[in-house]
């Protein structure tokens, strides 16, 4: 038996079912309505990614590749880190275009990883701290203020997510009831 009181194979099946139910929006973390269309990248019919997170990852990869090719000196790495930090923090206070607020900071951090171990430690510590702060803040679940659907439960941005969650709950309850 697992900790939750369910047999371990059943708990694993339910966990896999939950993962599948939420896979289509797992990396979007924005409402899936028209108001947020510019914040979410759709890949095919069922997969969505957050545009900001995707651009940050692309920037990190591009900066890391460029840094591996150029092998920048320590001073260039510190400048890249500083630019990344300023733009990244600015994007939290003011709405900047995603390329400026996510892609360029990611590229600066990736580039600074190659500029010697002091700069690499600084960049890794910064990335770790930012990741920790972002996770602690959590996902914003409040209703969108300017939205005309804010009184609707659930709004169109969450209808497909709620539908999947309810279907998952029915299926999981059925599996548990069959014990």
Q: Are residues 121 and 55 in the same domain?
A: yes
Residue 159 lies in a domain: yes
Alpha-carbon distance of 109 to 31, in angstroms, equals 29
Q: Are residues 107 and 158 in the same domain?
A: no
What is the total count of domains within the chain? Answer: 2
pLDDT level of residue 1 (50, 70, 90 thresholds): very low
Residue 167 lies in a domain: yes
Supply the pLDDT for residue 7.
87
Mean predicted confidence (pLDDT) in 6-31: 81
H or E segment at 106? helix 104-112
Q: Are residues 61 and 133 in the same domain?
A: yes
If one compares 127 and 91, the residue with the highest pLDDT of the two is 127
Q: Are residues 85 and 134 in the same domain?
A: yes
pLDDT level of residue 134 (50, 70, 90 thresholds): confident
The β-bridge partners of 177 are: none
Residues 72-97 pLDDT 10s = 999 999 999 999 999 988 887 787 88
Residue 98 lies in a domain: yes
Q: Are residues 133 and 57 in the same domain?
A: yes
If one compares 3 and 39, the residue with the highest pLDDT of the two is 39
Residue 19 lies in a domain: yes
Supply the pLDDT for residue 170.
93
pLDDT above 80 (res 137): no
Supply the pLDDT for residue 136.
78
Q: Are residues 99 and 125 in the same domain?
A: yes
Q: Are residues 94 and 121 in the same domain?
A: yes
Q: Are residues 9 and 77 in the same domain?
A: no
Mean pLDDT of the chain: 83
**What residues make up the domain containing 129?**
50-138
**pTM for the full model?**
0.71
Alpha-carbon distance of 35 to 95, in angstroms, equals 16
* CB distance 85 to 95 below 8 Å: no
Residue 149 lies in a domain: yes
Residue 44 lies in a domain: no
Residue 85 lies in a domain: yes
Q: Are residues 113 and 86 in the same domain?
A: yes
Q: Are residues 94 and 169 in the same domain?
A: no
Alpha-carbon distance of 84 to 87, in angstroms, equals 5
If one compares 150 and 67, the residue with the highest pLDDT of the two is 67
Q: Are residues 129 and 62 in the same domain?
A: yes
Supply the pLDDT for residue 106.
92
Q: Are residues 82 and 117 in the same domain?
A: yes
Residues 21-80 pLDDT 10s = 877 676 667 777 777 777 888 888 777 888 888 999 999 999 999 999 999 999 999 999
């Amino acid at each position: 038996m697992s900790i939750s009181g369910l047999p371990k194979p059943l708990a694993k099946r339910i966990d896999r079912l939950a993962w599948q139910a939420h896979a289509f929006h797992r990396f979007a973390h924005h409402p899936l309505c028209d108001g947020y269309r510019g914040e979410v990248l759709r890949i095919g019919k069922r997969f969505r990614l957050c545009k900001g997170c995707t651009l940050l990852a692309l920037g990190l990869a591009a900066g890391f590749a460029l840094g591996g090719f150029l092998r920048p000196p320590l001073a260039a790495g510190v400048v890249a880190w500083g630019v990344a930090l300023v733009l990244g923090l600015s994007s939290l206070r003011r709405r900047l275009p995603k390329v400026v607020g996510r892609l360029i900071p990611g590229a600066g951090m990736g580039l600074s990883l190659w500029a010697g171990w002091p700069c690499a430690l600084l960049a890794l510590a910064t990335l770790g701290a930012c990741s920790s702060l972002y996770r602690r803040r959590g996902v914003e679940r409040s209703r969108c203020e300017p939205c005309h659907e804010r009184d609707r439960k659930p709004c169109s941005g969450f209808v497909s997510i709620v539908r999947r969650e309810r279907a998952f709950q029915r299926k999981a309850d059925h599996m548990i009831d069959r014990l």
